[in-house]
Amino acid sequence: MTLKLGVPSKGRLMDKTFEWFDRHGIQLSRTGSDREYSGAVEGIEGVSLVLLSAGEIPRELAAGRIHFGVTGTDLVHDKLPRWEQQVEEIAPLGFGQADLILAVPRCWVDVDTLDDLDAAAAAFRAEHGFRLRIATKYHRLVREFLMDAGVADYQLVDSQGATEGTVKNETAEAIADITSTGETLRANHLKILSDGLVLKSQATLWRSRGAPCTGDDQEVMADFLRRVDH
């Protein structure tokens, strides 16, 4: 048996993750052709690399099919309702920072807080005959956030990309999405609600609480944890 480490399979997130592990004396690399998702681990014995889509890593951690995984706080919180029982946060990696926020058109001068959004949603429903649409891909997080705040008369519409454009295209009235600088929001004439921060996210190393770890693996686990802990 080896311990399995799940890492995002492409892009900046993968490169930054490799750099982070390198600084901790563990060298990760992709092997084979550019299109082949297999990898190698050097600098520690008994750990193997699994390259996965960042969105699948929470599920694999929860199922115990990988022992460690790197993915964003946003994805873990959205996909795993009982994440505290399913995974343990080992280390924030200091990159991939992004906030999940609620944003409305900048022309809504009357809407600055969730309280305003709720009132605007009630009036919107009365005027248009349907509930105010909020475009997002983070359904559970946003729904729980709004339920907690007591916002009613809205509906979530699924948007897997180009979410900032949905308002102008009139497929949604507001959005909940990840932003790092707010540049895209401004370019699309949107503004963040003053109390509209749903979650602060960054790339994080997680440990599965359910993955089997016995015999020699326990030593490897302890070694791995020591290495990444500084």
Return residues touching other proteins (CB under 8 A): 81-82, 105-113, 115-116, 118-120, 122-124, 127-128, 131-132, 139-140, 143-144, 146-147, 149-156, 167-168, 170, 172-173, 189, 194
- In the complex, least distance from residue 135 CB atom to other proteins, rounded to whole angstroms: 11
- In the complex, least distance from residue 24 CB atom to other proteins, rounded to whole angstroms: 35
Closest to other proteins by CB, 74 vs 217, is: 74
Closest to other proteins by CB, 24 vs 139, is: 139
Judging by beta carbons within 10 Å of its beta carbon (0-12, 13-18, 19+), is residue 194 exposed, middle or buried?
exposed
- In the complex, least distance from residue 191 CB atom to other proteins, rounded to whole angstroms: 10
Closest to other proteins by CB, 67 vs 79, is: 79
Token pair belonging to 102: 């609620």
d(CA 217, CA 186): 50
- In the complex, least distance from residue 62 CB atom to other proteins, rounded to whole angstroms: 13
Closest to other proteins by CB, 34 vs 170, is: 170
Closest to other proteins by CB, 142 vs 220, is: 142
d(CA 171, CA 165): 9
Instruction: Quickly list DSSP for 192-214.
Output: EEEEEEEEEE-EEEEEESSS---
Long-range contacts of 147-151 (CB under 8 A, 24+ apart): 149/114, 149/118, 149/195, 150/118, 151/114, 151/117, 151/118, 151/121
Closest to other proteins by CB, 10 vs 106, is: 106
DSSP 97: -
Instruction: Name the residue type at position 143.
Output: R
- In the complex, least distance from residue 217 CB atom to other proteins, rounded to whole angstroms: 27
- In the complex, least distance from residue 95 CB atom to other proteins, rounded to whole angstroms: 30
HSE toward the beta carbon, residue 229, CA cutoff 13 A: 7
Closest to other proteins by CB, 169 vs 214, is: 169
Residues 6+ apart with CB under 8 A from 98: 72, 74, 178, 179, 180, 201, 202
The residues with which 174 forms a beta bridge, in sequence order, are 134
3-state SS, residue 109: coil
- In the complex, least distance from residue 187 CB atom to other proteins, rounded to whole angstroms: 12
d(CA 208, CA 87): 5
